[in-house]
Amino acid sequence: MRRYNFFFVLISALAVSLGTQAQAPKGYYKSIDGQFGAELKSSLGRAIAEHKVFSYSDLWDTYEVTDVVPGTKDQILEYYSDKVMYYTSRGTQINREHTVPQSWWGKGNICDAYTDLFNVLPAEAAVNGQKSNYPLGEVTGTPKFDNGVTKIGPSNNSGGANNVFEPADEYKGDFARVYFYVATCYAAAPWTAEAYSMMSAAPTIKEWTLPTLLAWNESDPVDEREMKRNEACYYLQGNRNPFVDYPQLAQFIWGDKQNELFELSDEPINNPSQTYTFVFKAGRPSFSVQYGTTPETAQPVMKGTEVTVASGNAIATIHWRVNDGKWYELAADTANNFYSPSHKVVVNGDTKIEAFTEKEDRANSDTLVAYYCVADNSDYLLYDDFATASSGNNTSTSGASSSLWTNVNFVDNENAYSAGGAVKLGTGSKAGHITSRELDFEGGRLKVELDVKGWSKIEGKIAVTLSDGQSQQLAYTATISDDFETLVAGFENVPSRPTVTIATTQKRAFVDNVKVTAVSAVPDDISTPYYIYKGGEVWYSVTGCRMSGRPDKAGIYIVNGKKVVVEWLQFHSQ
């Protein structure tokens, strides 16, 4: 497959008409004529295998072509809710949702289905969090979620999963045909042994789910919207979904006609009655820091935060202005191969940034608007209440399934998930972590404070680690149904510009309200002399039990014959 490092290469026209009949080119399916069963599926897979592979970030721009609401420039069609969704809410209200879940092949770009335009659909973030990686099916019990378009709930046919995802009747065939496409195009993918995955080695789609998919393919025929999306994906990606062009193929591969020869007609069964014209714009600009789309939703950031405004295209010009002021522009230096021009805006108060890009062979992008405010946390080196991690749920074991986007405060994460205004670290088998940006700190003492609660039972501790190697493991007792418990760690002799990593030592825990503070002296409310732990000392609990090391939580202890009060894991004698 051909891979491209930037979006929509070799496109020179502002608008492209795909002809009076938008359909597969003559000869596209020639290789499948007169075949049946497994041979038919293999030949069809080879016919559609060769296509462009986009990056994950490129998918946002493809939706402006494949899923735009007709007659609009900024509204997007999706298949999971009945809400009007806007491009400006991408990454917050809109997610890129893998129809066939990526966990079924082991996750990530080890399989090109990860960014395949047919498989990755725009979805309302809140619904995406509920959908998780449940298989398709019909909900037969009481739904745990139902917004009138998407149902999540128990089923009599779920492959062993606790719940299934049931789309609306008008989308059931659309989803079935996506599954047929993925099973055909990616038959050789490393499908995992996950019990309720609908995919496996040949014949790819598991037997228990085939009757449902075949029934949906029949009950919800291909409509104009699905045909138009097929054409758009074909133009951008270079291959087609044959089950949109020939929905009857599913019966020849998996259904009652597996032993019959498939005879190719002169034209696909589905021929749109109109000409489709796709207008390609310069790629949308981007902001390096999460933002609000209105003054009321302005994203709180630390004073002095730098927001990088970047071009959405290689060799393009970025235009920007701040707080309705003068427009500025920065063009790419094509002679020196200077790609993706950018500009930094420093946020020291309420800030509105507007930006758009232009490129010679495309229309200007839409203007993107970002709102920021300075958080009321000037005493902190870092403060994050994870308000933007709005999907998922921190009060239920069925929530917290959407990946946490890297943001201005935490620039790296692993197994960290959005959890209803908090972050879930870890999975049922793996630990998770988030790592902060470098802190604007000259060195000395640091206090790290965070709210924590565990899963349905405590699974390990919380480790707070600095980039110089200092680390503390903090115990907690709150579980998923409890209020958050506040933990505090203190560090001595911290070098300049440290980073802070917060991790689970075993599996899952929820983290919220992370605060990092520089401390110049013993806290004001401690009047006793300051005691510094130097190592090699024997510590006892207040009841006289010898400890294996220094304490990992606040309390009263005995060391060297003295009573020691541990307030925040720096030590002072009493």
The answer to whether 460 touches 507, Cβ cutoff 8 Å, is yes
pLDDT tens profile 304-353: 888 999 887 767 889 999 999 999 998 876 554 445 678 899 998 899 99
Local confidence band at 531 (pLDDT 50, 70, 90 cut-offs): very low
> Could you report the per-residue pLDDT of 313-327, keeping only the tens digit for each?
767 889 999 999 999
Query: Does the pLDDT at position 16 exceed 50?
Result: no
Q: pLDDT at residue 461 above 60?
A: yes
pLDDT value at residue 551: 65
pLDDT at position 177 is: 98
Whole-number Å distance between alpha carbons of 294 and 266: 53
Report the pLDDT value the prediction gives residue 504, as an integer from 0 to 100.
97
Q: Which residue type sits at 180?
A: F
For residues 481 and 457, the answer to whether their CB atoms sit within 8 Å is no
Q: Is the pLDDT of residue 533 over 70?
A: no
Distance CA 435, CA 349 (A): 26
d(CA 351, CA 116) in angstroms, rounded, equals 37
**Rounded Cα distance, 503 and 307, in Å:** 27
Residue 277 pLDDT: 66
pTM, rounded to two decimals: 0.57
Above 70 in pLDDT, residue 544? no
> Is a pLDDT exceeding 90 seen at residue 360?
no
Helix axes 210-219, 169-185, angle to 10 degrees: 120
Predicted local confidence at residue 554, as pLDDT: 62
Average pLDDT, the chain: 82
Closest CA to 201 of 212, 190, 185, 213: 190
pLDDT higher than 50, residue 168: yes
Write the CB contacts of 23 (distance below 8 Å, at least 6 apart in sequence). Answer: 245, 267, 268, 270, 271, 272
Instruction: Give how far Cα 174 sits from Cα of 119, 178, 222, 262, Å.
Output: 11, 6, 7, 22
Low-confidence winner among 211-225, 247-261, 376-390 (lowest mean pLDDT)? 376-390
CA angle, corner 496, sides to 494 and 501, nearest 5?
A: 65
Give the best-scoring range by mean pLDDT among 26-30, 295-299, 373-377, 421-425. Answer: 421-425
3-state secondary structure of 174: helix
Per-range mean pLDDT, top range of 24-38, 48-62, 234-248, 271-285: 234-248
Q: Is the pLDDT of residue 1 over 50?
A: no
Backbone torsions φ then ψ of 44, nearest 5 degrees = -65, -40
571 — pLDDT class (breaks 50, 70, 90): very low
What is the pLDDT averaged over residues 257-263?
Answer: 92
pLDDT of 24 over the 80 cut = no
pLDDT higher than threshold 90 for residue 118 = yes
Q: 3-state secondary structure string, 35-84?
A: ECHHHHHHHHHHHHHCCEECCCCCHHHHHHHHCECCCCCCEECCCCCCCC
- What is the model's pLDDT at position 86? 79
Q: How far apart are CA 562 and CA 547, in angstroms?
A: 15
Residue 1 vs residue 46, higher pLDDT: 46
Residue 14 has pLDDT above 50, yes or no: no
pLDDT band per the 50, 70, 90 thresholds, residue 563: confident
Cβ(261)–Cβ(34) below 8 Å:
yes
What is the pLDDT, as a whole number, of residue 83? 82
Band (pLDDT 50/70/90 cuts) for residue 527 is very low
Greater pLDDT, 99 or 408 = 99
Assign 300 a pLDDT band (cuts: 50, 70, 90). Answer: confident
pLDDT tens-place string over residues 443-460: 988 999 999 999 999 999
pLDDT reading at 524 higher than 70: no
Q: How confident is the model at residue 21 (pLDDT cuts 50, 70, 90)?
A: very low
